[in-house]
Structure 1
Amino acid sequence: MSMEQLYQQLILDHARERHGHGLRGDASGPGAGESFQVNPTCGDEVRLRVRLSDDGTRVADVSWEGVGCSISQASTSVLSDVVTGAGVADVESFAAAFDDLMHSRGAALDPATEERLGDAAAFAGVSKYPARVKCALLGWMALRDALIKASKGE
């Protein structure tokens, strides 16, 4: 099985078994944030909730619900695995790296970037298809917005 086939299988697995799926907790109060995002091109939707640690430095929990294609669902599932428990600064850095990957237009990943991205590197092939990039980024856009709201206590 080629690496591309393994990546495709990982995306399909996450689309079927969506990690973090099902909204938990309250979206209001200190350290909590929620964002609803829609991809108007295809109609994919995601509502994502984030709760920060008591000191506001870590992502304590991520939960979400959404409808859409396997790419948007799988990307948000991987996001949930990657950011839960991570430091907020690390999450921002990771989100920027994923955004760079999605705008790479299929350029080969260097081994260090591939290792850093972990399962998120599976979406490298998606970057070859500009119409699908928005699908892969939908959950990440919701995460960034929810983190801003959580840090402001909105």
Structure 2
Amino acid sequence: MNELKVTSMEELKNQSTEIIELSPFVGDKPICVRTKRPSILGLCQDGSIPNQLLGVARKLFYQEDIQKVDLKEHGQIIDIICKNTLVEPSIEQLKETNLKLTDEQKFELWAYSQQGIEGLKSFRKVTKSTVDNSNGKDLQNKTKPNFKHKK
């Protein structure tokens, strides 16, 4: 019979972060970053998410009336989540070198903060149509010319 042991603080520290791949700034080589999954409730409780954004945060986290969320407030929540998810390099380190996360990278961090590695799978899918575009004949057969705008 195995006896359970308390996980050491060092092990807990090592388990609290994870290295993940994000989309590149340019090109096709992904970047690797160290991340942690923040506690959304903790961010609300400690004031990281200001009171005026709590309603927006609730809608986003619980998928309620997302269409009614103000784009500026949505961006503010995403930035707060990214700041609290990205460990290395930190948002502050990126700012020091005049780098800003792309929208795609921000949404990848958002997905990771909500679902872990599983949340990133939707960003990694490669469909046949994006890989195999060498058959232009099929495309020509499916499209019809639009002469409506021709003079």
TM-score range, shorter chain: under 0.3
Higher strand share goes to which structure?
1
TM-score of the pair, normalised by structure 1: 0.27
Q: In terms of Rg, which structure is larger?
A: 2
